[in-house]
Amino acid sequence: MYLLTVLGNLLFILAVSSDPHLHTPMYFFLSNLSLADIGFTSATIPKMLMDIHTHHRIILYVNCLIQLSFFSFFGCMDNLLLAICQPLHYPVIMNLHLCGLFVLASFFLSLLYSQLHCLMVSQLAFCRGVEIPHFFCDPSQLFNLTCSDTTIKNILVYFIGAIFRGVPVSAILFSYTRIVFSVLRVTSSGGKYKAFSTCGSHLSVICLFYGTGIAVYLSSAVSPAPRSGAEAAVMYSVVIPMLNPFIYSLRNRDIKGAL
């Protein structure tokens, strides 16, 4: 699955970059999303595969912070890129300068998000030989394992999460509400189908990514069941990045032609 994720997303990036017809805002953002997906899975899965192979399930404290930093960075990058969600308006409102600005803003906001998480975790005190009930250094699990008082830090984590996840989700919901109302006003059935098919792949990825991610963090807040949290994390950190290039390619004649 990891090899399929990396190869699928790389192939998508190569197809877009090699075909001049695909040098449009939508495919520019999708290429960056594929790049973020490769980084997102590479932050955790190679270490997990090595642990399974060697049965040496140990991660140093510094390496744990590095993994947490990269995982948070690429996860936030995915989150923000998915929130650039006006696919029907791209030909009208987007240009090369604005596309670059959006991606640059996503990069710096993701860097800020990851460093805030890393800073908060680095302030925690742990006993030696702590066992993390997960396949990577998940922030919520680390907060459960610390000997320090985490009341204020938990509030900060949920506050930061509400900003970096809540704002993009709200933007997506607002955008798609407007899109649905606009499409319903189209008289021809062919026009409606074309508009919904343009948005369908984006919407399906959003539902999978946010649905599993939100479920994990809500369930950890209600009842910390490590096994169910790890299983759901596999969904949004492994399965969805693997499916993304297929979702965007299978029903897309432009990508098929480029491939």
Predicted pLDDT at 89: 67
Predicted pLDDT at 197: 67
Q: Which amino acid is at 248?
A: Y
Residue spans of beta strands (DSSP E) within the chain: none
Tokens representing 189?
């059935």
Is the pTM of the predicted complex or chain greater than 0.75? yes
Tens-of-pLDDT digits for all 259 residues of the chain? 999 999 999 999 999 899 888 888 888 888 898 999 999 999 999 999 999 899 888 888 899 999 999 999 998 998 888 877 666 666 777 788 888 898 999 999 999 999 988 888 888 888 777 788 888 888 877 887 877 777 777 778 778 877 877 788 888 888 778 777 777 777 777 777 766 666 766 677 777 777 766 666 666 555 555 566 677 778 888 888 888 888 777 667 778 788 8
Predicted pLDDT at 213: 67
Q: CA end-to-end span of the chain, whole Å?
A: 21
Residue-range domain boundaries for the chain: 2-258
Q: Give Cβ neighbours of residue 233 (< 8 Å, ≥ 6 apart).
A: 134, 135, 136, 138, 216
DSSP string for residues in 45-99: HHHHHHHHHH------HHHHHHHHHHHHHHHHHHHHHHT---GGGHHHH--HHHH
Neighbours of 172 (CB within 10 A): 18
Using the structure block, give the residue that is written with the tokens 């990514």: 209
For residue 88, give Cα distances in angstroms to 80, 94, 180, 213. 18, 11, 11, 26
Reported as half-sphere exposure (CB side, CA atoms, 13 A), residue 195 has a value of 19
For residue 136, give Cα distances in angstroms to 26, 31, 47, 90. 32, 26, 8, 37
Using the structure block, give the residue that is written with the tokens 């290429």: 31
* Residues recorded for the chain: 259
In the structure, how many helices (H) and strands (E) does the chain have? Answer: 13, 0
Using an 8 Å Cβ cutoff, are 145 and 167 in contact?
no
> Looking at domain 2-258, which CATH architecture does it have?
Up-down Bundle (1.20)
Predicted pLDDT at 44: 92
Instruction: In whole angstroms, give the CA distance from residue 258 to residue 13.
Output: 11
Neighbours of 24 (CB within 10 A): 16
Q: Which amino acid is at 214?
A: I
Instruction: In whole angstroms, give the CA distance from residue 246 to residue 7.
Output: 11
Measured N-to-C along each axis, helices 240-250 and 25-42 cross at an angle, to the nearest 10 degrees, of 160
